[in-house]
Chains A and B, each alone.
Chain A
Amino acid sequence: MDFELTPEQKMIRDTAREFAAREIAPKAAELDKTSRWPSEILAKMAELGLLGVAIPQEHGGAGMDAVSYALAMEEVSAACASCGVIMSVNNSLFCDPVYKFGSADQKERVLQPVASGQKLGCFGLTEPMSGSDAQTMVTNGEKTSGGWVINGAKNWITNGPHADWIVVFAVTDRSGSKVKHTAFLVERGTPGFTQNAADHKLGIHAAHSCTVFFENCKVPDANVLGQAGDGFKVAMATLDGGRIGIACQAIGIARAALDKSVAYAKERKSFGVPIAQHQAIQFMLADMATQLDAARLLAWRAATMKDKGVRHSAESAMAKLYASEMATRVTHKAIQIHGGYGYSTEFPVERHYRDARITEIYEGTSEIQRMVIAANLLK
């Protein structure tokens, strides 16, 4: 048992923390209010290696491990949850599967520029009427000579309006009792691949998402990611990692809300004393901090298992489930502690609350995480 971080892990955490405080936090409110895409922040994140944290340096990444990635995700998300999810999608949902399942050519041609942050990636699994239940996927990939033709639509594609590459999943075999999927790498500008305008959302305003369309979109064989027919496996393995990223996003959001609540409670007075001296407030803070630590330990456990290369589906699901629901509770309490100011957009906690809410939904809803965990317990 050892909960100590390595010097490298501490270094990337401190680097990310310092960078987030200096470059991201001062802009977070503006990004939220204007829904502006944070190009200049992403360029700096790329310089620091934050867009490919756990990808080896030879493939354009920072060459760190999953725990480092978890730490960096928390730091960035504590400053701005939108920047956090842009980072998470690029790292976990794009770079990770290309590194794990990609050919040498794909690693050089696609992974290198995305992991280094020159290009941006996104992930297309969900459809208007099919999300966690991938058996109902409509998007189709048809084999032709030398390639594939993809038809269908994907929605809630975070980074979609700006991404240079998408890893997209399509059904490529409907002959058996269960359909089989294939993962494809599709570059922006490929004829037949188009993007809608960005979605309007409750929170994470600066992280643009959209629906993307594939109309007779031709993709060469060289862009099949992994084996044809193995797409579901690619998607599930990817999400096991992605859920660690989202857990850490939730943890970052909650931490920001707790820090602000502690500061506010020491400053604001009622009945002649700072409200921090009232047990009602103290107990909220104590619960927030305890749940935050519990979530962080669950996320770190999943990340260490990923680093060891052992199966971590249930552990990632636990981390994601607990952290996301924790973040909603903690940010809710943060608003309560702030009273009327908590409800005002002049204070950041209402943003944290809105931002936290998505973490219970994307990359597998809480309900899906519970299914994954229960299946593992009942094995």
Chain B
Amino acid sequence: MQVEPTETQALVQRTARDFATRVVAPLAATIDATAALPDELLAGLAGLGLMAVNVPTDLGGSGAGAVAYALAVEEIASACASTAVAMSVTNMVGETLARFGRGALASRFCPRLAGGGHGLGAFALSEPGAGSDAGALRTVARRDGASWVIDGAKQWISGGPQADVFVVWARTRPPETGVRGLSCFVVERGAPGLAVGKPEDKMGLRGSSTVPLEFAACRVPEGALLGAENEGFKIAMAALDGGRIGIAAQAIGIARAALRESLEYAQARRTFGVPIAQHQAIQHKLADMGTLIDAAHLLCMRAAWHKDRGEAFTREASMAKVFASEAAVRVCNEAVQIHGGYGYIREFAAERHLRDARVTTIYEGTSEIQRIVIARGLLE
């Protein structure tokens, strides 16, 4: 047992922390208010190797592993959750391409995602009428000569407007085949027939653009098929297992920011003649917040550690994700409470943290989906 990061992990963590405090944090309020992530911020992340932390070095990544990746996401998220999700999805797409990309796709796209300057990675699984229930996906891809032609619609695509590469799931066998009829494709920005829709107006995570995608006879080359035909579901599940570690880490980072600000506020603000930090009602909230954050962090680290060892980590990732996301919502809610009226206004960050935290129990598998995954493991 060793709960401290290794040297490499600590280096990645420090690098991310330094960038987060120096560059990201001062921009966070503006990113939220203007609903825009500056390109140079994303390029800055890429420049530090943070867009491909767990992508092998020969594909342009940092090759630092899943634990290092989770530590880095925590740091960035504790400055700005919108920046963290751009980072998280891009890392997930890069890792997926590296793992399933059979040489050509990986060597072409991984360095682009890792290096910055081109754009983000985007993950296009959900549709207007199907998300976690991937067997119900309706987007189709059919062979046409040496091409694939994709038709359908995707929904809730994080980072879409700034994306360079989309991984897209489409049906290559009839609907009754369910998840056994899905294949995965790599679609570049500007592909003919791909239309990126208007960003959704969201409660939180406002700096991260979430868009619908339309595929109207969108033609991609034969080589755009990622992995084997009809085995796309396996890729999606593998990607999501890793992605859930990223979202857990994002939630933990948001919660850490909320706790940090609550600790500062509680020591500055006075009621009844003393700083409110001296009232047990406040102390006990802070203690619960700290305990939940530490527990979530350990669950997340454990899942990432299993992943680094090449072991199964589906259940551990789901536990980390459901616990961390629900903890983040509770912690951020208490942070608003501790800040009182100031917690409800935009001059303070507490309300942003609560809005940002709220999505973490929803995307990359809702809490309910995580519980199904965990229960399945228990009942096997």
A1 touches B304 (CB 8 A): yes
Beta-carbon contacts under 8 Å, B269-285 to A: 277, 280, 283-284
Q: Residue A67 at the B interface, CB < 8 A?
A: yes
In the complex, residue of chain A having the shortest beta-carbon distance to the beta carbon of B321: A290
- State the Cβ distance, B325 to closest chain A Cβ, in Å: 12
Q: Which of A9, A322, A367, A375 contacts B291 (CB 8 A)?
A: A322
Interface size on B, residues (CB 8 A): 43
Does more than half of chain B's interface fall in helix, strand or loop, or is it mixed?
helix
Q: Which of B267, B288, B316 contacts A378 (CB 8 A)?
A: B267
CA gap between A1 and B301 in the complex, in Å = 7
In the complex, residue of chain A having the shortest beta-carbon distance to the beta carbon of B3: A301
- State the Cβ distance, B22 to closest chain A Cβ, in Å: 24
B280 touches A286 (CB 8 A): no
- State the Cβ distance, A292 to closest chain B Cβ, in Å: 10
Q: Residue A239 at the B interface, CB < 8 A?
A: no
B305 touches A2 (CB 8 A): yes
CA gap between A262 and B377 in the complex, in Å = 11
A285 touches B375 (CB 8 A): yes
B298 touches A371 (CB 8 A): no
Q: Residue A318 at the B interface, CB < 8 A?
A: yes
CA gap between A174 and B63 in the complex, in Å = 62
A373 touches B291 (CB 8 A): yes
A301-B379 CB under 8 A given contacts A4-B1, A67-B1, A287-B371: no
Q: Residue A119 at the B interface, CB < 8 A?
A: no
Residues on the A chain within 8 Å of B301, using CB:
1, 3
Q: Residue B323 at the A interface, CB < 8 A?
A: yes
Q: Which of A1, A291, A303, A372 contacts B6 (CB 8 A)?
A: A1
A294-B323 CB under 8 A given contacts A287-B371, A289-B374: yes
Residues on the A chain within 8 Å of B306, using CB:
3
A1-B2 CB under 8 A given contacts A370-B283, A373-B287, A373-B291: yes
Q: Residue B302 at the A interface, CB < 8 A?
A: yes
Residues on the A chain within 8 Å of B48, using CB:
none
- State the Cβ distance, A256 to closest chain B Cβ, in Å: 15
Q: Residue B286 at the A interface, CB < 8 A?
A: yes
Q: Residue A374 at the B interface, CB < 8 A?
A: yes
A290 touches B323 (CB 8 A): yes
Q: Which of A266, A372, A377 contacts B263 (CB 8 A)?
A: A377
- State the Cβ distance, A70 to closest chain B Cβ, in Å: 10
Q: Which of B288, B291, B374 contacts A290 (CB 8 A)?
A: B374
- State the Cβ distance, B191 to closest chain A Cβ, in Å: 40
A5 touches B1 (CB 8 A): yes
In the complex, residue of chain B having the shortest beta-carbon distance to the beta carbon of A266: B379
Q: Residue B176 at the A interface, CB < 8 A?
A: no
Mark B277-315 against chain A: 1 for CB-CB distance below 8 A, else 0: 100100110111011001110110110111000000000
Interface size on A, residues (CB 8 A): 46
In the complex, residue of chain B having the shortest beta-carbon distance to the beta carbon of A291: B323
In the complex, residue of chain B having the shortest beta-carbon distance to the beta carbon of A290: B319
Q: Residue A202 at the B interface, CB < 8 A?
A: no
B1 touches A304 (CB 8 A): yes
CA gap between A298 and B316 in the complex, in Å = 15
CA gap between A377 and B331 in the complex, in Å = 15
B284 touches A1 (CB 8 A): no
CA gap between A279 and B373 in the complex, in Å = 11
Residues on the B chain within 8 Å of A369, using CB:
287
Q: Residue B38 at the A interface, CB < 8 A?
A: no
Q: Which of B266, B283, B291, B371 has the most CB of A within 10 A?
A: B291
B374 touches A371 (CB 8 A): no
Mark B242-264 against chain A: 1 for CB-CB distance below 8 A, else 0: 00000000000000000100010
Beta-carbon contacts under 8 Å, A274-319 to B: 276, 279, 282-283, 285-287, 289-291, 293-295, 297-298, 300-301, 303-305, 314-315, 318
Q: Residue A72 at the B interface, CB < 8 A?
A: no
Residues on the A chain within 8 Å of B6, using CB:
1
Q: Can you list 19 A-B pairs with a CB-CB distance of less than 8 A?
A: A9-B1, A276-B379, A282-B372, A289-B378, A290-B299, A290-B319, A293-B316, A300-B3, A301-B3, A301-B294, A318-B290, A318-B294, A318-B295, A321-B291, A370-B287, A373-B286, A375-B283, A377-B286, A378-B283
